[in-house]
Amino acid sequence: MLKGIDPLLSGELLRILDEMGHGDELLLVDRNYPAAATGHPVVRLGEVGVVRAATAILGVFPLDEFLEHPLERMEVSDDASITTPEQDSILELARSGHPRPLDWGVVPRLEFYERARRAFAVVHTLEPQPWGCFILTKGVVFPD
């Protein structure tokens, strides 16, 4: 156990987040997502939803400041205008810690699966809400 670190962030997950470099992509996915099929490391968080997982991850993970959409979500029902409550919560959480205005990148479901092939790793939750799948692009940690 580490002081000041969310206990949800296991040693394995912290190692992965630390090893990621600027521009690397992390998948945060729901229980329905075929995480193992990506061929990338999978960290299974058990009975945790995506909002709780995002809260822990975004506490230590800088989103890319150079991209227009460093946070992307899977499109709901082939309609980019629809969001889920979980998606809305994660966007607000990300906005609270991002130095620039932040809005979604929306990725159609089949394109999301294609994009997943280049992810660095996958964080798998047991989120029951479909479309609880996100791509987080790591940014730079600037000196104080």
Phi, psi at residue 30, to the nearest 5°? Answer: -90, 180
Residues taking part in catalysis:
22
Give residues with Cβ within 8 angstroms of 79, minimum separation 6: none
Alpha helices, H only, 1-144? 11-19, 50-58, 85-97, 109-116
